[in-house]
Amino acid sequence: MSSEDIRVVLVDDDIDTCETLSSLLQFDGYSVRVARTAQDAITAVDEYQPVCALVDLGLPDLDGCELSKRLRSRYGPDLVLIAVTGRSGDDEHNLAMACGIDHVLCKPLTAENLRRFFPPRT
């Protein structure tokens, strides 16, 4: 599988976060599509068919947990869901896992933390 085949949808309403994470992932050889709302995320996943979605839990139009539930019910375990949140703690982690999320990453994300899940492919 080539690096172009590793598609990621990044869902976050913060422009700076989107630009930073998208640039890092692309630099490391991943193909990225950005969505700024939950509705755009659903469309992006439908059209782009990524292997993974990085989902901010604090979205303006739909809670990130609700978005994750919808994506999980639509795509099952084939879509890896990684929550990205500014809130930490066991309650946040447990809530995310109950929504069908596979992993939880806390903001601010460092390149090192992101690369644990997305090692460079270049």
Q: What is the CATH number of the domain that holds 72?
A: 3.40.50.2300
Higher pLDDT, 44 or 95: 44
Report the domain count for the chain: 1
Q: Is residue 89 included in any domain, yes or no?
A: yes
Q: Is residue 79 included in any domain, yes or no?
A: yes
SS (H, E, C) 3-28: HHHCEEEEECCCHHHHHHHHHHHHHC
Count Cβ neighbours within 10 Å for each residue of 70-100 and write b for 16 or more, e otherwise. bbbeebeeebbbbbbbeeeeeebbebbeebb
pLDDT at 4: 55
Q: Is residue 122 included in any domain, yes or no?
A: no
Q: Is residue 75 included in any domain, yes or no?
A: yes
Identify whether the C-beta of residue 85 lies closer than 8 Å to the C-beta of residue 57.
yes
Q: Is residue 9 included in any domain, yes or no?
A: yes
Q: Is residue 60 included in any domain, yes or no?
A: yes
pLDDT digits (tens, 9 = 90+) for 68-114: 999 999 999 999 999 988 777 777 788 888 889 999 988 888 889 89
Other Cβ atoms less than 10 A from the Cβ of 40: the count is 17
Q: Which domain does 34 fall in, by range? A: 3-117
